[in-house]
A and B are shown apart, each in its own frame.
Chain A
């Protein structure tokens, strides 16, 4: 891992791995005494759809938050689209590369739908433009077009808190569509949904990743959805990589072993 902290090596590394949209090396995170992620390498090429699986506390969310720039890793290097994230400001500069959607959706309930969708533009807008738009929405047409695609164009001016859970999910996806990041991260995007709706949401997210020509990384549990929508599965347990396989090789026995609480955790060397 130390070689990546050397700047000359970082430069060669940069060139050698430029075909990866996500290239994380030796990423780790410790919360107090809890090791959320043990040093982990993760490299993802454009076009890949990666599912993260593992029991609660296995570090799935932590990895997604590190990739999203919401929490800094304790160690390791992260390159997004061949650019080191070390100098990038979380939020503003990272938002060009990564967008995150979470189970709890993270919309501002008090704002009307149009403003929650336009928040996807905040990375590109200056402060003055953002402020003006809050009172007189900019780019209303593109919001309307996006919401039409998702079938909720009629909700554009409603307070977000008045929408149903399914409608709010679409608003969150619409925001991601306006942000249009190359790397789409989804933390448990379908865990509270019925199978039909889960299928539809994953279809929308992968469709968005296809349009942009990027990658999608999502944490979820359902094997059939993984085989249907993802190309690759990464299994985690207590922050340690357990397997990294093509999704068609995901057998029920593999998942059972991963989620088996009686199994001895693999010692961290």
Chain B
């Protein structure tokens, strides 16, 4: 499933795809009502008020406490979601990489089916999964966690399978000639060779999961996004800014943490 194997490899096909995309963009411009004005009545004031509300943001102890609780809920959803995504995504990715089992048609077929399943999992956006799971489990944390875990497992599984496939063959041949089975080659060769990449990518996805957990509010699950939505409805922009700063802080923290972990792994 690498780019070089895709049907869009040839130059002509890529040019055609570019033309279609440019055409779609030009066509979309025609659907905008330019004469009626892009900004609706009162929208101009909102655009002005919003940036000004940053000075200062809402800093009352009560609201900060609310921000902290909302941040905590968001982090919990993200951590549980990405953990579950790794637990599901890694084995599925290993199967999709086709590096287990005897070489042959069965292995290729199983890998192709698994890639299809992974593609299905990630082609549906986490918000849509959230709607489905809220319908099933109600407005619970479980719905948020599953809504993150499933599409993210699809993404991680696909990336993991590519990483596992793209290692240099030399050390793998060495293990094979030393008598390693495909499973032996996986645990002694492929896994150690890509371990830091697997973790790095997991951390990167954790950052995305934080943002995904935050917007789960749009289907009513508690968290930072839920509070942002409430404050926006009340046009309390200062509160919105406080909450956005919390979100920004969270992403920075995750970024710092993942960088330090990766550095210690690489040394």
Binding site for B on A (CB under 8 A): 68-70, 89-92, 94-96, 98-100, 102, 104-111, 115, 119-125, 127, 130-131, 134, 172, 175-176, 179
Contacts and interface: CB of A to CB of B under 8 A. Distances in A.
Interface stretch (B148-156, B166-174, B223-231): B166-174
Interface string B135-159: 0000000000000000000000000
A-B pairs, top 8 by smallest CB distance, nearest first, are A123-B179, A106-B174, A95-B179, A122-B180, A100-B177, A91-B176, A110-B192, A108-B171
B180 A119 contact: yes
Interface residues of B, number: 21
Contacts of B174: 100, 102, 105-108, 119, 172, 175
A175 B178 contact: yes
Interface of B: 102, 170-171, 173-181, 183-185, 187-189, 192-193, 195
Given A104-B170, A119-B178, A130-B183, 7 more contacts: A90-B176, A91-B180, A100-B174, A106-B173, A108-B174, A122-B184, A176-B178
14 contacts: A90-B176, A100-B177, A106-B170, A106-B174, A109-B193, A111-B192, A123-B178, A123-B179, A127-B184, A130-B187, A130-B188, A134-B187, A172-B174, A176-B178
Contacts of B181: 91-92, 122, 127
Contacts of B192: 108, 110-111
B177 A124 contact: no
B173 A119 contact: no
A112 to B, nearest CB: 10
A69 B177 contact: yes
A134 B178 CA distance: 16
Contacts of A70: 173, 176-177
